[in-house]
């Protein structure tokens, strides 16, 4: 099956810093989503981005499907950005495969 690799696994930042999270996938995908998992376990939708670039406030994402990767940018990070960020890809098999996540810690 498809492999999804996220990097880095852990990231520690000072408040106000910028960061880039990466998601590599091993095969063609129908679409790709980025999520933020809150402390209670719920996955919050950040981006639905099969290709191209999208922006939402301090967050933006870019997916280059032909090169099989996606990037999530967080600018001017805040302590509330802390948590685990997941990338999930949907394949022709009709299921989502998640990466192992990046754990982000933003220090005040």
Residues near another protein, by CB under 8 A: 30-31, 33, 35, 40-43, 45, 48, 86, 88, 90, 93-98, 100-101
Can you say whether the dihedral through the CA atoms of 16, 72, 48, 103 is positive or negative?
negative
Using an 8 Å Cβ cutoff, are 23 and 100 in contact? Answer: no
Nearer to another protein, 47 or 74 (CB): 47
CA angle 96, 7, 46 (to 5 degrees): 50
Nearer to another protein, 21 or 77 (CB): 21
CA angle 4, 85, 29 (to 5 degrees): 35
Q: In angstroms, what is the minimal distance from the CB of 36 to another protein?
A: 11
Coil/strand/helix, residue 105: strand
Q: In angstroms, what is the minimal distance from the CB of 108 to another protein?
A: 27
Q: In angstroms, what is the minimal distance from the CB of 38 to another protein?
A: 9
Nearer to another protein, 15 or 100 (CB): 100
């Amino acid at each position: 099956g498809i492999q999804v690799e996220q990097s880095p696994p852990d990231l520690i930042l000072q408040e106000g810093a910028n960061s880039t999270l990466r998601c590599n996938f091993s095969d063609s995908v129908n679409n790709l989503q980025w999520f933020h998992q809150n402390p209670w376990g719920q996955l919050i939708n950040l981006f639905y981005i099969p290709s191209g670039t999208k922006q939402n406030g301090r967050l933006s994402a870019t997916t280059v499907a032909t090169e099989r990767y996606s990037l999530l940018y967080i600018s001017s990070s805040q302590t509330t950005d802390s948590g685990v960020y997941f990338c999930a890809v949907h394949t022709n098999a009709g299921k989502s495969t998640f990466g192992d996540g990046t754990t982000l810690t933003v220090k005040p």
